[in-house]
Amino acid sequence: MATSRPRRGPGMTEVARAAGVSQKTVSRVVNGEPHVSDEVRARVLRAIRDLDYRPNTAARALLSGRYRRIGVVALGSPLHGPTSLLFGLEQAVREAGYTFALASTAEGQGVTAAVESLLRQGVDGLVLAEPVDDGTPLRLHTDLPVVSLSAPVDTAGGHSAVVRADGVAAARLATEHLLALGHRTVWHVPGPQHWFSARERVRGWREALAAAGAPEPPMPEAGDWTPASGYAAGRRLARLTDVTAVFAANDDMAIGLVRAFAEAGLTVPHDISVVGFDDIPAAPYLSPPLTTLRQDFAAVADRAVGLLTAAVEGLPLPAEPTDVAVELRVRGSTAPARSRATADG
């Protein structure tokens, strides 16, 4: 009995015929090359969609020297920040006309191993969205362009850049907001210090206190970004009558703080003002609505992918970090200072 051969998918010839153009024009559209009118490009793309044409990536790479694929190294965390950033990167990569390849470090794979796995797949550039580091510079043995979304990276080819939300400036903004409300000082509940972003927020908090001449209170034990760790810190802080303002390293820990203060008979913001970080979707709907810092994850992703794809095309990466501003959203969880010792009698 003869076996049936799998049906071959449509090729570039069929796409060209359906769009009424040459195979060369189809090739230009597939590879994102210029010198194709918007009308012709739209016609070719419509034919590609209608025929479900899938270019042969390996063959295209041999011809052009490029894969039209961007590799991303990420933690694979369910936390709001990493998840939002990863979603933004995937959207930005696809909108730039590249395919998206992901290597996760969630299962204990290190960044170097994750990068190597992406290089074996074939990529034109790399984005490092891995937030965890040991505080020492990372060196990668690749001459491909690399954009890091946290700490700087050294590469064999020297083609690397940093794009990130300005966590230091954001933490200063949160602390200055609370000091401007008349609070004598601001306490900070930090995130895990093996995260680059958590260390940045500590730095910005300290800088703002020093600039204002405000005393720096001792930090509680670092949290792990969860409401439970914020709750544990809040139970300890609630016993200290000189605590009137707290800046938490993320919104989830701020939620835990507010719960602990409520159980201790303290009202936010009447007794203690609280500021978070991230502006999670629930933040405006909490009771009280949470004052927080909004990171524009989409803007970070767009900027990172834009610089990386430009570097793939031969443009140099910027030597200085590209910082994306973070916005303070003032809501109901902060208010002018009020002495708890007086209020408690």
pLDDT of residue 30: 72
Q: Is the pLDDT of residue 228 over 50?
A: yes
Residue 345 clears pLDDT 70, i.e. is over it = no
* pTM beyond 0.75, yes or no: yes
Encode pLDDT of 258-289 as tens digits: 999 999 999 999 999 999 999 999 999 999 99
Mean pLDDT of 182-203: 96
Residue 34: predicted pLDDT: 65
pLDDT of residue 61: 52
The pLDDT mean for the chain works out to: 89
pLDDT > 70? residue 299 = yes
The residue-averaged pLDDT of 231-247 equals 97
HEC string of the chain equals CCCCCCCCCCCHHHHHHHHCCCHHHHHHHHCCCCCCCHHHHHHHHHHHHHHCCCCCHHHHHHHHCCCCEEEEEECCCCCHHHHHHHHHHHHHHHHCCCEEEEEECCCCCCHHHHHHHHHHHCCCEEEECCCECCCCCEEECCCCCEEECCCCEEECCCCEEEEEECHHHHHHHHHHHHHHCCCCCCEEECCCCCEHHHHHHHHHHHHHHHHHCCCCCCCCCCCCCCHHHHHHHHHHHCCCCCCCEEEECCHHHHHHHHHHHHHCCCCCCCCCEEECCECCCCHHHCCCCCEEEECCHHHHHHHHHHHHHHHHCCCCCCCCCEEECCEEECCCCCCCCCCHHHHCC
- pLDDT at residue 261 in the model: 98
pLDDT at 60 over 60: no
**pLDDT reported for residue 186:** 98
54-68, 175-189, 293-307: which has the minimum mean pLDDT?
A: 54-68
pLDDT grade, residue 203 (50/70/90)?
very high
